[in-house]
Amino acid sequence: MSPENYLYLAALLFTLGACGVLLRRNAIVVFMSIELMLNAANLALVAFSRMHGNLDGQIMAFFVMVVAAAEVVVGLAIIVMVYRARHSASVDDASLMKL
Amino acid sequence: MESLIGLLVGAPLFGAAVLLLGGRRLDRVGHWLATGLAAVSFVLAVVLFFDLLEKEGEDRALHQHLFSWVPVADFQADVAFQLDQLSMTFVLLITSVGTLIHLYSVGYMEHDERRRRFFAYLNLFLGAMLLLVLADNYLLLYVGWEGVGLASFLLIGFWQHKPTAATAAKKAFVVNRVGDVGLAIAILLMFTTFGSFAFEPVLGSATEASEATLTGIGLMLLLAACGKSAQVPLQSWLGDAMEGPTPVSALIHAATMVTAGVYLITRSGAIFNAAPDAQTVVVVVGAVTLLFGAIVGCAKDDIKKALAGSTMSQIGYMMLATGLGPIGYVFAIMHLVTHGFFKAGLFLGAGSVMHGMNDEVDMRRYGGLRKHMPITFVTFGLAYLAIIGFPYLSGFFSKDEIIYAGFSKGGTEGWILGGVMLLGAALTAYYMTRIMLMTFFGEKRWQPDANGHEPHPHESPLSMTIPMIVLAFGSVFAGFLFDSGEAFVHWLEPVTGLEHGDSPVSHGTVGLAATGVMLLGVAGAWWQYGRRPVPAVAPTGGLLTRAARRDLLQDDFNHAAFVTPGNYLTRGLVYLDHKLVDGVVNGTAASFGGLSGRLRRIQNGFARSYAVSMFGGAALLVAATLLMRAV
Amino acid sequence: MSGLAALAAETSTSTGEAVQFWLLGPLAVAGGIGTIMMRRAVYSALCLAGTMVILALFYLANGAYFLGMVQIVVYTGAVMMLFLFVLMLIGVSAADSLKETLLGQRWLAAGCGLGLGILLIAGIGQASVGSFTGLSEANAGGNVQGLASLLFTRYVVAFEVTGILLTIAAVGATLLTHRERIDRTKSQREQAEERVRSGKQLPPLPAPGVYARHNAVDLPGLLPDGTPSELTVNSTLRSRGQVREVHGQAVRDVAALEGRTARYHGQRYVNEKAAPGVNGSAVDEAEAPAEEDPK
């Protein structure tokens, strides 16, 4: 098996995550789709790390995880706040960015 | 000695500044301060005059360089004075008549609560006028030129509570602007042609320039002179300017400022001498104005407006004389000086009459005033005799010389000019006699004014009569003094030059003819106004009379020729502005607005729509990257 | 562990890894599809957790032992649980409608997704890595040690910064969800007085299952005349429509019992004739005839 397959898998998962962001209205599901995309990127980084024979890719993936953790904390807090204020977690309901 | 020149100009300017900035605490002494400073100028002028007399004819010029005004590379504008015989003549006339009229105004403006301001403006005028005649370059002359224009504007509109006065001031200002543009262009032309605008380099090298350029400069100078001296076609403001206080009419609009045009052309004689075409235009303008003013003067019942017509006409004489070139310059200036005396005297007399008649100006409501105001009658009468050219009074000498100079032009031209001027002389005699008869002779015709006050004609106070007496002396003897031994001619000749044309008629014949037509005019006026009582209401009169009462339709002409097309032009421009300029601007704005309104629909506020565009963009970037790699 | 290390040390993948990939890869994709297709967010979360675990296995297969463990412990264990907490907090039951409301959004999304996917795959195919170095050398001193030596030397600044980032995120989340009390806490007495004043029911609501044979919270209690009482069931269950129906026979039995008791006492039981009418649809006729309480 060629190790490129990991990359194909990562691309596939990334695309799936993107479609999730575009299609789902529930903010939490959108968020989960973003996590899926991040994980896909991590998989690619790990595969690259193996291909190049050094650990820098893993370090990158590690940082992605840390940042994703921070992002999840803040993002979920925002979702909770929005839900409190509007009693809805739909991203379409918060459509105030227009006239 | 030279340093006195700056003082001469500075004294009245200082007075104006002090009076305008000093405020109300100067109300009690302001007029005497102004009069005193005018007198200081006069004394300085006399001192300088005697200083000049001590020098030889050709060297009679003083120069004073005060400071560099705008020193920029080739553009050197200096504040510098030049006092030669021509300037000296003007300085003496301005300061002497000016001082007398200051004195007169003390009495005339006694009851005006803004008297301090009036005297401040008078001083400002004196300063500006002295600057005008003493400047040694055209740019400084222009400063003085604008200064007298400003003072004239302020003084015509002095009684600004009267709408007529305010309008007249505006009219004078606007018409003068037309002339001022001419002067500005002339100065610019001089600078581009000669690289300087000082008198000496410009006039010294005038002959080096092409005749076309000189004609252009000359015509522009003539335009300026027409504006300031109320010559056709820019004459329309002078009649209305009589709305100002009478001392102003006497000083500015009779004796001094309106003669600035004559000064300008005489000063620029070197340019005109080399541009015969321009000279011809000057002569034509002078001749036309001469008759124009005289005809208007014949028809007016307002004493000041009749005198204003006379002023126009007399300046027409001077203009004509300057247009004759070296034959006429000296006599133009001579007539200017004698005219300054007798016309100022006439105006002061008219002011005195108005003063005693509750500011009534309609001559048909005067009549028989000689018994009530004897001093005014005598001084006015002497000035009257002077202006109509009664033998051996000042007007006789100066006007005869001009008429003789006109004949000296030679050929058909000479005959035409001489004839026109003789006709003018007859008309002068006619309208002046008319004024004299209607005002001082006949039955009394005055009536109670609108408030029911019956006028009680009385002689004016001493401060008013003294200047009138002094001016009457000037009117009587000035011509005789000037002509004795041709003193004035010798005095001015080094500056203006002098030529003797070949006249087809002799000097004596001209004098006789002038006296003859004068008597004719007097007789005509007596026939019409002396034999029988003057009607209190003006008769309808013929077509010419009615036109003359409307200033020969000058305002109607200006309205039709300039105001109406100007209005249409403005309306057209406004229309263009609305439709074309605004259309383009508004159309652009509207198209952007519409486009934005449509683009706005893309911005629907849904985060997912924005995410689509983000991912689409990302996909495009990936595509572009791959494409670049492939290429 | 040593087997996996040997696996990573090779410069080409082993058959075992290939088998693992082809088994777990489709599962991971299925999990991803599930994440974005499930109507209930909880199922989406579970699908995602599954995908993440599979990815952790792939990390291990690729020689990233530390990351694999972190993926399981931190991601699947902590982050996904956080997601589930929030899901519970804002309501777990409501299923999302998958009907698209934005005009053309589905087509655009499909276009973008498809385009992006094709382009990425094309790009990877074009890059054509071929063989790869393998991590045997890099992982010689142990994967964690290798990572640590990199993390605390070359990437130490980034490491510190991410530490700060995490701190800020924690403080920020606290700040965002914190609600400031702006009024004084009410005392018990005030609360009691308020309740009396508002005229609501003062004593506790009747318990479910009273007069009923069953003792479940989703069974309404029966009134003396055999009709079920709405008040006895929790309002949450009521609004969800999860109240179980009382069997008609039970209602009739209660009514008969009550009737017999009344007759025994020489009283007239008013609802005797109506009782047989009370059938299985007792919930629908919920008006409790409390005022006709027999004396």
C252/chain A closest Cα distance in angstroms: 44
Q: Tell me, what DSSP letter sits at residue C244? A: P
Question: Are C222 and C228 a contacting pair, CB within 8 Å?
Answer: yes
Residue B45: per-residue pLDDT: 93
Beta bridge partners of B81: B64, B135
CA neighbor of B515 nearest in space, from B427, B424, B426: B426
DSSP three-state, residue B81: strand
* pLDDT at B166 exceeding the cut of 90: yes
Residue C270: per-residue pLDDT: 58
Residues of C in contact with A29 (CB under 8 A): 35-36, 41, 44, 96
* pLDDT at A97 exceeding the cut of 80: no
* pLDDT at B108 exceeding the cut of 60: yes
Tokens (6 digits) for C183: 């009024």
CA neighbor of C48 nearest in space, from A31, B524, B597, B198: A31
Question: Are B183 and B142 a contacting pair, CB within 8 Å?
Answer: yes
CB burial string B64-74: b at 16+ within 10 A, e below = beeeeeeeeee
Instruction: Say how many C-beta atoms besides its own lie within 10 A of residue B236's C-beta.
Output: 19
DSSP three-state, residue A3: coil
Tokens (6 digits) for B507: 């000097």
H-helix or E-strand spanning residue A39: helix A27-52
Q: Which of B604, B611, B612 sits opposite A98 (nearest CB)?
A: B604
Nearest CA in chain B to C106: B612
CB contact under 8 A, C32 and A13: yes
Residues 6+ apart with CB under 8 A from B224: B145, B179, B180, B182, B183, B186, B261, B264
The pLDDT tens digits for B139-160 are 999 999 999 999 999 999 999 8
Residues of A in contact with C21 (CB under 8 A): 1, 5-6, 9
Subunits with 3+ Cβ pairs within 8 Å of C are: A, B
B598/chain C closest Cα distance in angstroms: 16
* pLDDT at A99 exceeding the cut of 60: no
Q: Residues of B near C (CB-CB distance < 8 A)?
A: 604, 606, 608-609, 612, 615-616, 618-619, 622-623, 625-626, 629-630
Q: Which of B606, B626, B630 sits opposite C119 (nearest CB)?
A: B626
HSE-up of B68 (CA within 13 Å, CB side)?
A: 7
Say whether residue A79 is in contact with chain B using an 8 A CB cutoff: no
Say whether residue C115 is in contact with chain B using an 8 A CB cutoff: yes
For the purposes of burial, counting CB atoms within 10 Å of the CB of B567, is it exposed (0-12), middle (13-18) or buried (19 or more)?
Answer: exposed
Say whether residue C108 is in contact with chain B using an 8 A CB cutoff: yes
Subunits with 3+ Cβ pairs within 8 Å of B are: A, C
Residues of B in contact with C104 (CB under 8 A): none
Distance of CA C247 to CAs B43, C47, C229, C258, C280, Å? 136, 40, 14, 17, 5
Q: B69 phi and psi, to 5 degrees?
A: -90, -60
Q: Residues of B near A (CB-CB distance < 8 A)?
A: 600, 603-608, 611-612, 615
Nearest CA in chain B to C103: B609
Distance of CA A90 to CAs A83, A87, A94, C92, C173, Å? 9, 9, 7, 14, 20
Residues of C in contact with B618 (CB under 8 A): 116
Beta bridge partners of C228: C222
Say whether residue C117 is in contact with chain B using an 8 A CB cutoff: no
Task: Select the more confidently predicted residue: B341 or B603.
Answer: B341
Question: Are C170 and A73 a contacting pair, CB within 8 Å?
Answer: yes
Residue C289: per-residue pLDDT: 43
Residue B357: per-residue pLDDT: 86
B630/chain C closest Cα distance in angstroms: 9
Dist. CA B248–CA B262, nearest whole Å: 19
CA neighbor of B611 nearest in space, from C37, A24, A29: A24
Distance of CA A45 to CAs A13, B147, B333, B504, B561, Å? 14, 87, 106, 121, 89
Nearest CA in chain C to B617: C112
Dist. CA B388–CA B432, nearest whole Å: 7
B596/chain C closest Cα distance in angstroms: 21
The answer, yes or no, to whether the previous bond of C220 is cis (omega within 30 of 0) is no
Residues of A in contact with C94 (CB under 8 A): none
- Chains A, C: CB contacts under 8 A, how many? 239
Q: Is C55 left (phi over 0), alpha (psi -120 to 50) or beta?
A: alpha
Match 């991040």 to its residue by tokens. A38
Residue B265: per-residue pLDDT: 94
Say whether residue A91 is in contact with chain B using an 8 A CB cutoff: yes
Residue B88: per-residue pLDDT: 92
Question: Are A92 and B606 a contacting pair, CB within 8 Å?
Answer: yes
Residue A96: per-residue pLDDT: 74
H-helix or E-strand spanning residue B67: strand B62-72
- Helix, strand, coil fractions of chain B, as percent rounded to 5: 75, 5, 20
Query: Residue ranges of the domains in chain A?
Result: 26-86
CB contact under 8 A, A26 and C105: no
**Has this prediction a pTM greater than 0.80?**
no
What is the mean pLDDT of the segment spanning B33-41? 93
What is the mean pLDDT of the segment spanning B96-115? 90
CB contact under 8 A, B622 and C112: no
Residues of B in contact with C108 (CB under 8 A): 612, 616
Dist. CA B422–CA B596, nearest whole Å: 81
The pLDDT tens digits for B486-510 are 888 888 888 888 888 778 888 889 8
CB contact under 8 A, B629 and C115: no
Amino acid at C5: A
Residue A9: per-residue pLDDT: 93
Nearest CA in chain C to B604: C102
The pLDDT tens digits for B544-586 are 888 888 888 888 888 898 889 999 999 999 999 999 999 999 9
CB contact under 8 A, C113 and A15: yes
Which of C77-85's residues contact partners 24+ apart within 8 Å by CB, and which partners? C78/A69, C79/A35, C79/A68, C79/A69, C79/A72, C80/C45, C80/C48, C80/C49, C80/C52, C82/A72, C82/A73, C82/A76, C83/A28, C83/A31, C83/A32, C83/A72, C83/A76, C83/C45, C83/C48, C84/C42, C84/C45
* pLDDT at B405 exceeding the cut of 80: yes
Residues of A in contact with C148 (CB under 8 A): none
Q: Which of C109, C113, C119 sits opposite B623 (nearest CB)?
A: C119
Nearest CA in chain B to A20: B608
Residues of B in contact with A25 (CB under 8 A): 608
Residues of C in contact with B626 (CB under 8 A): 119, 122-123, 126
CB contact under 8 A, B600 and A97: no
**Confidence grade of residue A45 (pLDDT, cut at 50, 70, 90):** very high
Dist. CA B305–CA B358, nearest whole Å: 17
Q: Tell me, what DSSP letter sits at residue B535? A: P
**Confidence grade of residue A85 (pLDDT, cut at 50, 70, 90):** confident
Q: Which of C112, C118, C120, C121 to substitute to test the interface with B, most B CBs within 10 Å?
A: C112
CB contact under 8 A, B600 and A96: no
Which of C210-213's residues contact partners 24+ apart within 8 Å by CB, and which partners? C211/C254, C212/C246, C212/C250, C213/C250
Tokens (6 digits) for B552: 């020969």
The pLDDT tens digits for B442-472 are 888 887 777 777 788 888 888 889 999 999 9
Q: Which of A21, A95, A99 sits opposite B606 (nearest CB)?
A: A95
The pLDDT tens digits for C13-42 are 788 888 999 999 999 999 999 999 888 889
Ranges in chain C, pLDDT < 50: 1-3, 5-9, 272-295
For the purposes of burial, counting CB atoms within 10 Å of the CB of B469, is it exposed (0-12), middle (13-18) or buried (19 or more)?
Answer: middle
What is the mean pLDDT of the segment spanning B257-286? 93
What is the mean pLDDT of the segment spanning B195-222? 90
H-helix or E-strand spanning residue B79: strand B75-83
Tokens (6 digits) for C80: 């996904």
CB burial string B208-232: b at 16+ within 10 A, e below = ebeeebbbbbbbbbbbbbbbbbbbb
H-helix or E-strand spanning residue B484: none
A41/chain B closest Cα distance in angstroms: 15
Nearest CA in chain C to B622: C119
**Across all residues in chain B, what is the average pLDDT?**
90
B610/chain A closest Cα distance in angstroms: 9
**Confidence grade of residue B543 (pLDDT, cut at 50, 70, 90):** confident
